[in-house]
Amino acid sequence: MNNPLLSLFPVTAEVKDDRLFVAGQDMAELVRRFGTPLYLFDEATLRSQCSAFRDEFTSRYPRCRVLYAAKAFTGHGLARLVAGEQLGMDVVSGGELALAKDAGFPMERVYFHGNNKGREELELALTLGVGRVVVDNFHELSQLEEIASRRIALQDILLRISPGVDPHTHSHTTTGVTDSKFGFLMDRAAEAVGLAMDSPHLRLVGLHFHLGSPIYDVEPYQEAIVRVLAFAAEMERRFNFVLREFSPGGGFAVSYTMDRPAPPPSYYAEGIVSALRRGMGEGRAEEPWLIVEPGRAIVARAGVALYRVGARKEIPGIRTYVSVDGGMGDNIRPALYGSAYQALVANKASQEPRETVTISGKFCESGDVLIRDIPIPPLIPGDIIAIPVSGAYSIPMSSNYNANPRPAVVLLTEQGPKLWRRRERYQDIAALEEE
């Protein structure tokens, strides 16, 4: 019988002969080939999540665009995969924008977010022909107006509104409350609408909000939708503003551990679409486009992190630490957010837990702990720890702390493994140093 933890792994995961396989690939063999730490992405899981969000939303609301939120993880390979699935992309920096462009991603499907876009980033966005700029504040609105004035075509924009709704998630990932660095406060947003509507160089096509992540309940979205649609109706009366696009953001939850399952895409689609239709009421000549931005919910389950076991420290009556060859340098989420994970021993995947250990990293911080007090089969040096649901935010937030190279990233396909990003070398870290 397969281990129940497989429900957290990619959809192609299975256990055979006491070993963990994903997309038909033996994890132990991949470690021998690519080394550790190693991040794997399962193509089948990525594509199924793209199609699930696309189909669940568009079946209920045909005028819907699904954008992949690139901050969860991006690179040339993923950008091309997402483009092939007919999704757009939400980027938050010039770097993410440049990666999308280099990958050949259609610029008209890109929405450029961010609370402090630099002038050079805005210049780049307009030069590349980005589809929408999501304006976050008055400073940006003024800069964008000046930059757009030197161009012929109007630049389409959305305004980001802070609706003052608490999604009851971690304080570091809550973005839609009043006390947040993001977006126009409701009592100043009307002024921003007026300025945008008066601009001869910008075209205000819609409103956006984002509440935070991960959000397990649909009610915060529904509350914010009511508030922002009421605001849009007021702007229509005051400025003849027409809401052509409406974005409630993303932040949809994923299941990191067995004890907290996340809702399926259909739950969010039904809740958001029903609230949008109720809020718009009857008599609209044309429904606005609905823009949703799942990132974590597309890539998280598709990703698996692999580590090799090294040192062991037993403190009688207190705790046993087992160290691995990665940690907060490639996944800072446990140290930063207190994020919880579960794990399998990839080369002992059928064995029963017989000890409880804390899996710690190799970095020079006491807080470098990946999983605390996990029941697991007995571990010895060289065993392979597989941590599921590692596809979101781990690699984008990775660092060279302690001058450690960042890990390789591999896509697992039906045809075999494909290297998406090679492992960094010591020379890469030193390359930017000036004598």
Which residues does the annotation mark as catalytic?
A: 364
How many angstroms separate the most distant Cα atoms in the chain?
A: 72
CA atoms in the 13 A half-sphere facing the CB of 36: 26
At a CB cut-off of 8 Å and minimum separation 6, what does 75 contact? 99, 103, 409, 420, 421
Report the 10 Å Cβ neighbour count for 67: 26
- Determine the straight-line distance between the first and last CA of the chain, rounded to whole angstroms: 59
Give the whole-angstrom CA distance, residue 411 versus residue 390.
13
Question: Can you list the pairs that 42-45 forms with residues at least 24 positions away whose Cβ atoms lie under 8 Å?
Answer: 42/10, 42/11, 42/12, 42/13, 42/302, 42/303, 42/304, 42/412, 43/81, 43/411, 43/412, 43/413, 43/414, 44/10, 44/11, 44/12, 44/414, 45/10, 45/11, 45/12, 45/301, 45/302
CA angle 173, 177, 179 (to 5 degrees): 95
Tokens of 94: 């010039």
Strand partners, 110: 89
* Cα–Cα dist 243/228, whole Å: 11
Bond into 288 cis (ω within 30) = no
Q: CA-CA distance, 268 to 215, in Å (whole number)?
A: 10
Contact (Cβ atoms closer than 8 angstroms) between residue 113 and residue 92: yes
Closest CA to 379 of 304, 319, 324: 324
Q: In whole angstroms, give the CA distance from residue 317 to residue 84.
A: 54
Q: Which of 234, 235, 229 is nearest to 247 (CA)?
A: 229
Alpha-carbon distance of 397 to 262, in angstroms, equals 23
* CA–CA separation, 377 and 20 (whole Å): 14
Phi first, then psi, for residue 291 (nearest 5°) are -115, 115
Q: Go through the chain and tell me how many residues it has.
A: 435
